[in-house]
Each structure stands twice: as structure tokens, then as C-alpha cells.
Amino acid sequence: MLDLENKSILITGGTGSLGKALTKEILKNHSNVRRIIIFSRDEQKQFQMAQEFPSSVYPQLRFFIGDVRDRERLIRAFKGVDYIIHAAAMKHVPIAEYNPDECIKTNVMGAQNVIDACFETNIQRVVALSTDKACAPINLYGATKLTSDKLFIAANNIKGDNPIVFSVVRYGNVMGSNGSVIPFFIKKKGEGKLPITDVNMTRFNISLQGGVDMVMHALDNAWGGEIFIPKIPSYKITDVATAIGPDCEQEVVGIRPGEKVHEEMITPSDSFYTYDLGKYYTILPATHKWKIDDFKKKFNAVLVPQGFAYNSGDNTEWETVDTLRALIREHVDADFQS
Ligand SMILES: NC(=O)c1ccc[n+]([C@@H]2O[C@H](COP(=O)([O-])OP(=O)(O)OC[C@H]3O[C@@H](n4cnc5c(N)ncnc54)[C@H](OP(=O)(O)O)[C@@H]3O)[C@@H](O)[C@H]2O)c1
């Protein structure tokens, strides 16, 4: 297990869904951590988080106001830090379509600023958050996250003798995260009608804890340049609507700009570099400083067949209406009644 004894860890976007869940995990299971620093812009969210995690109980927790667009601020925040988890992003597809330059500034320039700040300080390990929308992207959000992934992966090639390791974690919809479909449907079901973009639509599904586990695993095990992809189930969007509002009318409203009917995490073109490691896949970088045979041996990694794809529509594992209800009760809303 990852040893964080006396380590300092900074989470960009630490007040977000994933950032908070990571903070909880580290405080619970790694209480010997020296410091956890939450880096984000909005003082109100930091104020609220500080109430949830009071300094009298969690003296390791610190808050740092800053914007990933501000390289100098990142350098100041990264001083004395060992590990970075980069979770800050603009993540709403339609908002990114409408404000492309803003999304590029945060998701692309912000990623490069994080990398630059790592090289200006003594960071040892970096895990950057990606998304299934970065795989064969058709919307600006996905394209910026793919660019960010490429920047982090390529950063391993320019590090010289610096032992720093950069890796990426990619996954699909996080159940119940800020702005996601499940809390949206729960709020809307009182109206008796739930909007369905496309009756065939499917999505990958991961719990916040599943996301946290993959990030912690990457932080511990990355050799540099990997994209870690957990094996997770899919759901049909119509099953989510039935699970939440069985008596609601499902109104087809049409696919939104930049949306896919099915999401992808690995395309056939990635298959040449993709390894199956049991619980997850890893897309390896085309160039790396370590030996592929050592990697295969260490992780029992098996190259996937040529042409292999990992698509939410062709998944072998599925959530059903019943499993979705149970998951919503467990992960999103303990009082949930369908
Ligand atoms: N949620 C999902 O379903 C999902 C799925 C796949 C991948 N991901 C990825 O996982 C990561 C975390 O997602 P999340 O769901 O936790 O997001 P979230 O709840 O929306 O949180 C985003 C965080 O980023 C901060 N932030 C935004 N812009 C910033 C900037 N310019 N500088 C500094 N901080 C900034 C926000 O705080 P302030 O606004 O106060 O700055 C907030 O703390 C993202 O990279 C996202 O792309 C999410």
C-alpha cells in the first residue's frame, strides 16, 4: 500500500467531488501524511470544506487559493510538496462548447502550468485526471483533456535526470459527482418527466471510491507515461431514469452538442499499446525510459488483442435497474426512494 508517511500532497481542484473524496481517503487511511494542500479558486468552497474537515481534528489539511492558469502561484504552492494530484478542470461539455477559450485556458494551459511548476520545484510523483471523453474526442472538453493527457505523458520525456513520474488516470461518469445525471434526475423526478437525450445512450459508471482507488494505485505504481483505465460497468441512461423515477415519463429531448451515444476509453488504434493488468487496463506511451519486459513481468501485463476496443456500448459488465437503485442508495443518497 502507498506509504504517505511524512509526505506532502497537493490536490488541484481539491474542493471538487474527487478532491474531497481523496482528502477523506487520505485522512482516514494515511493519517501519518505530513500535509494535504487543497488548491482551488473559490474561497467559499474552501471555507465550506474547512468546516467539514476542522483543523482541530485534521491539522494536516491546508487550503491555498489559486488558479491553475497562474503558473507563479502554482510554483509557490508546490514548494515543499512531494506528490500532486491534478483534478482541477472545466468539465461541462456544453459550457466548454460555448466558451472554448476559457476551457483551453484551464484544461490545457493549466496542465502545462502544473507541469512547469513541477519542474521548478521538487515534486516526485504526479497523477492527472482524464476522462473517457478524451478518447477519440468529439467535443472541446474531451479534446482539451486529451491534450492535457498528452502533455503529462510527454513530460516524462523531458525530465532528464529528474526522477519525477507523471501518469494519467482515465475513467467514465462518476456516480453522483457534481453536475452529473443521477443528482439531476433525482431533483427532476418530482416533475413527473425525465429528459432522455437518446434511448440508446450508454455510459461507463464508477463510484467516487472507485475513482479514488485508481488514483491512489496510480500514485503508488506508475512507472511514467501510463494511462490507467479501470474496468468498470456500463449503464443505459433509460435504466438510470427507470431506477430513479419508475413512474416518470421518459421524454426524448435529443442528443446535446458534443455528446456521443456511447463513450470509449480505448480505441482499436490504442490496442497496440494497451495492456490488461487484471483489474484495469493501461495504455503505455510510445516511448518510455523503462524496459517493457520488466513492466510486463512486474505487473503480469498482457498485451490486448489487436483491434481491441473498450466502449460503453459493448461492455461485458452492466448495471441493471435494481443494481443502480442499490448503488444510488449506497453512494449518492442514503434516503433515496424510487
Ligand atoms: N465527475 C466525473 O464524472 C468525471 C469523470 C471523468 C473524469 N473526471 C475528471 O476528474 C477531475 C475532477 O472532477 P470532479 O468531478 O471532482 O470536478 P468538480 O467537482 O467540478 O471539481 C472541480 C474542481 O476544480 C477546481 N477548479 C476549476 N477550475 C479551476 C482553476 N482554473 N484553477 C484551480 N482550480 C480550479 C474547482 O474549484 P474552484 O471552482 O473553486 O476553482 C473544483 O475544486 C476533472 O479533471 C474531471 O475532468 C470527472
Domain boundaries, the chain: 8-172+206-231+265-311
- Most informative mutation of 36, 40, 84 for ligand 1 (most atoms within 8 A of CB): 40
Residue 310: beta bridge partners? 266
Tell me, letter by letter, the H, E, C secondary structure of 63-105. EEECCCCCHHHHHHHHCCCCEEEECCCCCCHHHHHHCHHHHHH
pLDDT, tens only, 269-302: 999 999 999 999 999 999 888 999 999 999 999 9
- State the Cα–Cα distance between residues 154 and 32, nearest whole angstrom: 32
- State the Cα–Cα distance between residues 201 and 235, nearest whole angstrom: 9
C-beta 110 within 6 A of ligand 1: yes
C-beta 107 within 6 A of ligand 1: no
CATH number, domain 8-172+206-231+265-311, options 3.90.850.10, 3.40.50.11540, 3.40.50.720, 3.30.2090.10: 3.40.50.720
Residue 129, Cβ density class (10 Å: 0-12 exposed, 13-18 middle, ≥19 buried)? buried
Ligand 1 centroid to residue 16 C-alpha, Å: 5
C-beta 284 within 6 A of ligand 1: no
> Does 289 participate in catalysis according to the annotation?
no
Write out the chain's pLDDT in tens, 338 residues.
Answer: 789 999 999 999 999 999 999 999 999 999 999 999 999 999 999 999 999 999 999 999 999 999 999 999 999 999 999 999 999 999 999 999 999 999 999 999 999 999 999 999 999 999 999 999 999 999 999 999 999 999 999 999 998 888 999 999 999 999 988 788 999 999 999 999 999 999 999 999 999 999 999 999 999 999 999 999 999 999 999 999 999 999 999 999 999 888 999 999 999 999 999 999 999 999 999 988 899 999 999 999 999 999 999 999 999 999 999 999 999 999 888 888 88
Residues 303, 275 contacting (CB under 8 angstroms): yes
Which atom, in ligand 1's list, is nearest to the CA of 21? 16
- State the Cα–Cα distance between residues 91 and 273, nearest whole angstrom: 27
Catalytic residue among 91, 133, 236, 260: 133
Which atom, in ligand 1's list, is nearest to the CA of 88? 24
Which atom, in ligand 1's list, is nearest to the CA of 106? 31
